[in-house]
Amino acid sequence: MKKIELPVELPKIPPHGRPTVNYENDWSELTYALLVSRLRDIGIEHDASFGSTLFDTAQTGSGKGHIVELGTFSGWGSIHLAAGSKSRNREKVFTIDNYACDWHPFYNETPFWGYGLMAAVKCKMNFKMLGLSDWINMICCSTVDAAEVMDLPVRVLVIDASHDYISVVSDIFSWCPKVIPGGILIIHDWSFPDVRKAMTEYIQDSDEWSDITEISNMVATAVKL
Ligand SMILES: C[S@@+](CC[C@H](N)C(=O)[O-])C[C@H]1O[C@@H](n2cnc3c(N)ncnc32)[C@H](O)[C@@H]1O
């Protein structure tokens, strides 16, 4: 049988024709504005209220503890958290997703987002492209199961997994006790009725949380007492 010779150097094809970037040298200089421009360079859309809240809290939030995001999807939130934290050489990010999502398949057509397990693949590629793979631990698991085995202090908790009432309440009960005093809870899709109801009952009306702030109709934050 004829032996097939491979070319000595295989051509390097950037994923989906996206540019390959290397931001390794200037993390300490990173500001939110600079991150936004880097993301624009590679076609990632901007959401000022959510993005700046994640970045600023990860960068300058008080206390020592882990950063945990419930709901990774294609990594948009994790990127903002990790970039803020990495720019100050602070804690790495744990982001949890079971990738059992039923999001629309058309997400696969975009360079950044994906659908189902393809979201996990694109997520890893997005982290690598932005030089953030070393700052993000992806955990493929249900948020509640992860809470049972992850016994750690949390200084930033982002709740953005399933948005039905029972799921949000389960995430609150599983994860909020791990948040340290002074730690920050960030809630996405705050305008969804089930999310708002769960948060109002268990965060706003709780003695353990203060400074509930509605950043926009999509984002709210609270501080653990
Ligand atoms: C709204 S998306 C997360 C968006 C992400 N934070 C971002 O910034 O792009 C919700 C994600 O949560 C995941 N999810 C939903 N319920 C979950 C659960 N119980 N355990 C783990 N992941 C879950 C879904 O698979 C989906 O990818």
State the pairing for strand pair 154-159/219-224.
Answer: unpaired
Quick one: average pLDDT of 47-55?
93
DSSP 13-60: --GGGPPP---GGGGGG--HHHHHHHHHHTT----HHHHHHHHHHHHH
Shortest-distance Cα residue to atom 24 of ligand 1: 101
Cβ atoms of 60 and 88 within 8 Å: the answer is yes
Report pLDDT for 48.
Answer: 85
For the beta carbon of residue 62, count every other beta carbon within 10 angstroms: 13
Going from the N-terminus, what domains does the chain have, and what CATH number goes with each? 46-223 (3.40.50.150)
Nearest atom, ligand 1, residue 143 CA: 20
CA dihedral 56, 60, 61, 65 (to 10 degrees): 110
Question: Is residue 180 classed as helix, strand or coil in its secondary structure?
Answer: strand
pLDDT band at 11 (very low <50, low <70, confident <90, very high): very low
Ligand 1 pocket: which residues have CB below 6 Å?
Answer: 71-74, 76-77, 96-101, 142-143, 160-162, 167
135-176 pLDDT per residue, tens: 999 999 999 999 999 999 999 999 999 999 999 999 999 999
174-190 pLDDT per residue, tens: 999 999 999 999 999 99
Cβ atoms of 174 and 150 within 8 Å: the answer is no
Nearest atom, ligand 1, residue 101 CA: 25
- The lowest-confidence range among 73-77, 111-115, 138-142, 216-220 is 111-115
Nearest atom, ligand 1, residue 167 CA: 19
Cβ atoms of 154 and 81 within 8 Å: the answer is no
- Residue 162 alpha carbon to ligand 1 centre in Å: 6
Helix H or strand E encompassing 165: helix 165-175
Distinct helix (H) and strand (E) counts, the chain: 7, 7
